[in-house]
Structure 1
Amino acid sequence: MSRVIVKGIPSYYDETKLRDHFAEKGVVTDVKLKRKNNGESRRFAFIGYKEIKDAEDAVKFFNGSFIDTSRITVELAKSFNDPNVPVSWKEKRKQRDELLAKTEERLAKMEEAANRRKNKKAKKLTTINDKIENDSSLKEFVEAMKPSNQSKSWANDEVVNTDGAPTNDKLEEALGLKNSTKSQLEKPPVVTYKGDESDDEYDDFAIKKDQNIDADEKMVPLSKENNEQMVTLADSGVENMDVDKSEGAGIQDENGGKDGTDNQDEEVDDLEWFKSKRKRIIDGEDNQVSDPQKKSVEIVQPAKDETGIEESDEADENVEVEEPKHELTLEEKHIDKILITGRLFLRNILYSSTEDDFTRLFSPFGPLKEVHIAVDTKTGKSKGFAYIQFENSKNAVKAYIQLDKQIFQGRLLHILPGETKKEHKLDEFELKNMPLKKQRLLKKKYEASKADFTWNSLYMNSDAVLDSVATQLGISKNELIDPHNSSSAVKQALAEAHVIGDVRSYFESKGVDLTKFSEKERDDRVILVKNFQYGTTKEEIGELFATYGELNRVLMPPAGTIAIVEFRDAPAARVAFNKLSFRRLGKSIIYLEKGPKNLFTKPADKSDSINIEETVKDVKVTTEDILERKGDDVKSDSEDDDDDINNFGPTTSIFVKNLNFSTTTSSLTDFFKVYPGFIVAVIKTKPDTKHPGRTLSMGFGFVEFKTKEQANAALRGLDGQILDGHKLQLKISNRVGSMGDNNSKTKNKKAKNGKIIVKNLPFEATRKDVFELFNSFGSLKSVRVPKKFDKSARGFAFVEFSTAKEASSAMDQLQGVHLLGRRLVLDFAEKESDDVEAEIEKMTRKTISQAKSRELAELREGNSGKRKLELEDEDEY
C-alpha cells in the first residue's frame, strides 16, 4: 500500500505541516487530517505517497519518532475491502437497523399476503354458496350429487321436486322414522317390495318399528309370500342413525362398506337401486369413509365435466404467500450498468497521473479500448477524474470489483459506472444516401484512428520529393526526370534517398529518436503528417492543428515533405486526428499516423512552437484609458502606418477562435482597432466549392499588434467578449520562420560484410536499374537479380560492395526508398562461410530438403493423376 496512517499527532498540527514533515521520504500525494465536527483535530491522519516503496520507507523511518514532544505511530493503511479492518460501532448499528427494518417489512408482507389469501378464499366460498342458494336447479343438483357419507338420506326434504316425485320427508313418514326416538327403534323394519308395480310409482309403506335397533344385530327375514322379498333397514343402507343429532352420519352396511350392499344376483327395490346408482357416481372420486362425528359443513365441489363449475378448493389451498421482492443493492445496480456500458468513471485520482499509469493498472483485467483523463483546456492540467473503456464489459466488472476503494498512488480510488460515450455516428440510411466516394472517405476516417499497422512512417509524396530536390538543385522537375530516359525511376529513387537523409538528420538534431518508429506502442499526443504537397509551410500545418488544442511543437524539415506535430493534451490530439484524417490540404490529401511513444529525447524549444501561451502581465486597461487614447493613437497609427509598419521589431499576433462564420474582416478590424498598437486583422478562409470564386470563413483568424505588451492588453480586455453572437477565445500566437539546415552525422549500422539483400523489388526492375541505384554510394563488386525459369525477376536482388562501410552507408541512405512505386526493404545478407566442409554440409542439407519437397509434390500429383486415370478407365468400360 502507498498510504500510511499516522497516530499521535499534536493537536495543533495542520495539513501543511504534515506534508512538509513527511515529504522527506518521497512525493506526498495526499494528506487527510481527521477532525471532529467542531474542527478540532482527532490526532491522526492519512498520508499518501506516489510509490509503494516510499510508503514502506516512511513507515520504517517515522514509526516511533517524535513530532515536537508527541511520539507518533506510523503504519501502512488498509483499504476498505481489507478483511482485517474492524467494523466500527456506527457501521454495526447501521447494519442492525437495516436487518431489523428488512425483517419487519418481510413479516408485514407475509401477513398481508395471508390476509389476502384468507379473504379471497372466503369470498370465493361465499360466491359459490350464494349461487347455489339462488339457483334452485343447481341446488337440487348439488344435493343430489353429494356423497352419501356427507349427507343424510332424508336431507333432501327442502329441495323442490319439480317432477312430482315423493321427497325425503314423505319417505320418512312412510317409513315411520320421522319424530321417532331411538328407544322406539328396537327391531329393524321390514320393507315389502311388490314386483308388479311400476318403477315410477311410489306408495306409502306401513312399517312396524322395533325399539333399540342394534348396529350389530343380524337381520332375520320374516316370510316369503307370492315371491315377495323382505329387505331390512341394514340392507337399505340405514344403520346406526342418531336422529337427535343435527349432523348426518355416513350410511354404511353391516360389512362396513361405504355403499349399501348391492348384490347383482338379488332383486332390489327402487329406493335401493336409486341410492346405489347415485353413490356410484362418487365412488371414483372419493373412496374414503367419513367420520360419523365429523360435521357435514363442507361442500365438495364436483369436477368440471360433471357440474360445469371450474372453481375448486384446491385453487384456494395452492395460494402461496408472496415473498418480499428482492431489491437490488447499490453495488448490484452499478454492476448491471457496467455490464451494459463497459465503461468506468474514476474519481479522486492524482492530478499528475498519466494515461499510461491507468493503462498499466487496468490492462491486466483485459484489453482496453480507451483511457481518457479529463484535462482543463486552458491550463492543460488534469481535472481529477478519468474514464476507462473496456472492449469486454465483463472485464470492466472484474476491474470494478477488485479496484474500487483501493489505494492507488497514495489516494483512495473511487470507481463508478460510466455513461455510454456519445458518438456521432451515421446510420445506414444516411450512409446509403451519400455518394460512394463520401462513404469510402468516412470509412477511412473511422479506420484510421484504430489502425495499429503502419507500413512506412517516413513516407513522402513522390511529387513533393522531386519538387524539393529540383528546388535545391536549381533546375526544373522536367530536367530532373526525363520521360525518355530509362533511368528515370532510378533518379527518382536517388532523389528520395537524398531527401530521406536530410529528414533523418533534421529530426535527430531536434531530439527525435528514429529507432522508436519500429516499436508498436503509439502516443496519442504525437501525430505524423504526410503526403502534403511541396511548398506547404510549417505555419499552415500549425494553424490547421492548433484549432483543436494547444501544441507543444511542430517539426518540419527544410525539404518540406513531412511534419511531426506534438499536442500538449492527448484528448485534443485524438479529436484532431479523427477530424483531419484524409483531409484535403492544398492539392493533396494528408495522411496522419500516430507517433511512437517516447519519440522525443529532449523537451521542445520555443523555436519549434507555433502557439505558445505566454504569461500575461497584470496590465489592466480601463475603458476610460482606451477612450482617452483612442483619438490620438488611432489617428497617429493610421497616418504613420505606411512608414512605421516595417520599422518596429518582431510583432505579436493574437489567435482568435470561435468566430461567427458571418463575421467579416472589417468587423473584426473594427472590434480590435480601438486598442493601441493594432496593425491588421485577418480571417482565414477557404474556397467555396459550391460557388466558385467565393470563399468561406474557417471560424478563426489572427490579429497582429506592434508589441507583446499591447497584444496582452488587448487579450485581457477582449477575451470572452461577444462578437456577432459568438464568445471569442483569444490566445497569444508567435510566428517563427523556417529553420535552416542543421547537418548532423547519422549513426551507421555495422555490417559484418558488404553484401545487401534487396527485398520487395519490382518485377519490372532490371539489373541495370539496381546497379545505377546502388552505384552512387560506393564501389560495387557484384549485382545479382535472381530470375525464374521464364527469365522474369523473382522480386529480390543481392548487391555486394567492396567494403562493409560503403554497404552501411547505402543501407542508411536507401532505407525506405521507392523504386517504380514499391518500397525497397534492405537488409544485410548472411556472410558466406569460409570453411569448405561447412559450406558442403550446408548445401547437402539444402539439397536434401529440396529433394524431399519435390518427392512430396510428385506424390501428390501422382495420387491426383491416378484418380483421374481410374475415372477415365471407368468411363471407357
Structure 2
Amino acid sequence: MSRIVVKNLPKQISQEELKNHFSLKGSITDVRLIHKNGEFRRYAFIGYEGEGDASAACDYFHNTFIKQARVMVEMCHDYSSKERPESWAEKNKKHKEKKSNKSQLKEASTNNIETETKKEGKKKKERKKDEDSLKEKLLGQYKDDPSFTEFLKANKKGAKEGEGAAVFAEQESSSEAEEEEDQEEEEEKEDKLAQKKNVSDQDYLKSLMKTETQDKDHIEGKKPLKKKEKKEFYTVVIRATEMCKAKQSNSRTFTKKAVKAFLKPLKFKSLRIPKNARMVAYVGFKTEKEMKQSLQKDKSFLDGVRVHIVKHEKPSGNGDTSNQNTNTPWTAKEEALKQAEPVAESGKLFVRNLWYSVTEELLQELFQKYGEVTDISLPICKHTRRAKGFATITFLFPEHAVKAMTELDGTNFKGRILHILPAIEPETKEQQKENLSFKEKKAQEKKATAGSWHNWNTLFMGSSAVVDIMAERYNRSKQEILDSEGKQSVAVNLALGETQVVDETKRFLEENGVSLEAFSSPGVQRSKTVFLVKNLPARTTAKELVELFSKFGELGRVVLPPSGVTGIVEFLDSGEAKKAFRNLAYSKFKSLPLYLEWAPIQVFKTDFVAKPEETEEEDKKTEVDEITKKRRAISRFSPVT
C-alpha cells in the first residue's frame, strides 16, 4: 500500500504546505485533507508513487512536529484487507445490531410468556365450562324427582327461591359468556398488534393509548380540528423609484396608514411591509378587478415619493423546481449511468481518480492480469500534457471486465483509490442516418471500418496523382499521357509511372529513418501513435499536413516524400492519434478522400527526441547564475577587514 494517513495535524495548514513537507521522501500523487461540514478534522491522506516511499515517509515523519503539533503517521490498508481497523461507523453499526438482537430476544421471551399465560387462562375457562355443563345435566336429571323436591323443602330455601336461583344462574351464565366473548375479541386484537415484527414496545403502548383516546372522543362527540387554508389574494408590489430612493434616508419605510390613504377608495385584504427592504410594500386584494384598478396608480406619489406599482409574480412551485432539478446535467448523467449497458455485456470500464502522470503502459500492466485488453483510451490535457485523471478500458471478453471491476474497485493504485464504473456508450445518431443519402451512408460505413486491417494497402497511390506527377515531370499535358492512340496503352503508362513513384518514395523513406522491413512482415503489431496518410493530391507539402493534423494534438515527426502522395505522421500521445484517425479517415482533403492506416510498431528506426527550446526566462537564469558565480569567486580572494 503506497498511501499513508497523517493524524493530529494543525488546524491551519494548506494542501500545498502538506505536499511540500512530505515530498522529501518521494513523489506524491494525492493529498486529501478531510473536512466535515466545512470544518477540518485535523487528519489527511497522502499517496505516494511507490510502496517503498510510503513506508520510508511513515518511519521518518512519525511523531515529528508540524507547526507545534506532533503528528502520527500510519500506513493505510485496502477496504478488503483483513488488517484494516474498524471505523467508528462500523463499530456503531455492530453495537446497534447487538442491541437490536437483545431486544428481539427479550420480545420473543415476553411473547412466549404471554402466550403461555393466555393458554393457561383458556384452559381454566374450558374447565369451568365443562363443570357448568355437568351441573346443568345433573339438574335436568333430578328436576322431576319428588325426593329431590322434598330435600329442597326440608332445607330453608323454598321452591320459589330455587326457581329464582335457577333463573339467576341462567342469567349469570349468559352474562359470563358475553364477557368471555368480549375478552376473546380484545385478546385477538392485541395478538395481531404484538405479532408485528417491526413494532417496538413504545409503539405498541402508543397504539393502545390511541384506541383509548379515540373511544373517549367518540363518546364525548368531539370533531377533528380542520386545518386553516391559506387564502390567496391578488397581490401588487409598491416600490419607490431608484432616484427617490437615493434622495430619501436609509431608514425611510412606508407605513400602513400612508398606504391605506394612497389606495383609497380601494380596500385591501393583506399588507406586508418587509423590514430589510427599503420603501417596498406588498398589497393583496380580494378580486382581480380591484388589483387592476390599483395598477392605474402607477408612477403616482405615495407619502411624497414617486412609486411604481407592478403585479407580483409568485415564484415557481414544487413542480417547477422538480422539473428544474431533473433538467440539470448531473441528473441527466445519473440517468444515463442507470440506463448504461451492464459490464457483463459491454466489457467496457470507466476508471477515474487516476494519477495525473499515469500512462497507457501502466494501465495495460494493471488490467491485463484479468484478461486481454483490446483498447485503452486515456485523455490528455492540451495545456499540461498530462492525463486528465480518468480512462476507458475495453476487454475482449466481458467476463474479464466484470472480474477486474470487482477486484480493483476501491483498491490503491499509485497512491490513489480507484473508482471503477460501467462505461457509457456514445449515443447513436439513428435518426440522422435515416435522413442521409445512399452515398453519405456508404461514406459513414467506410469510416467505421477504417481501422480494420483488410482495408489497408501500404503504398497505395491514386491514378490521378500519378498522372499529375508524370505530366509535371515530362512536361506534357494529361491528355497526351492518357492518349490511347500512342504506341503503349494507357494502363501500361500508368503502371510504369506508378512503379517509378513507388521506388522514389521507398528510397526517400529509408533515407529518413523509416524501416520498410516492418511493412513486409505479416501479422505485425500496429502502432498506436504513428499512421500512414495515403491518397494525397500530388505535390502536397509537409506544412499542409502539419496544419491538418496538429488540430488534434502535439505532433512528433512528419515524413513526406517530394511527390507528396503518401506520408507518415507521428503523434506524441496515443489518445490524440486515435482522435485524429477517427475524425480524418475518409474525410475530404483537396477534393480527395484521405486513406489512413496504422503503421507497424517499429516503423521508425530511432525513437523521437524533442529538440530543447530555450526560452527567454531560461536564458536570463543562466546569465544570473554566471554573474553569481563570478561574484563568489571574487569574494573568496577579497581582503578581510
What's the TM-score once normalised by structure 2's chain length? 0.50
Larger relative helix fraction = 2
Q: Which has the higher contact order (CA 8 A, sep 6+)?
A: 2
TM-score, normalized by length of structure 1?
Answer: 0.38
Larger radius of gyration: 1
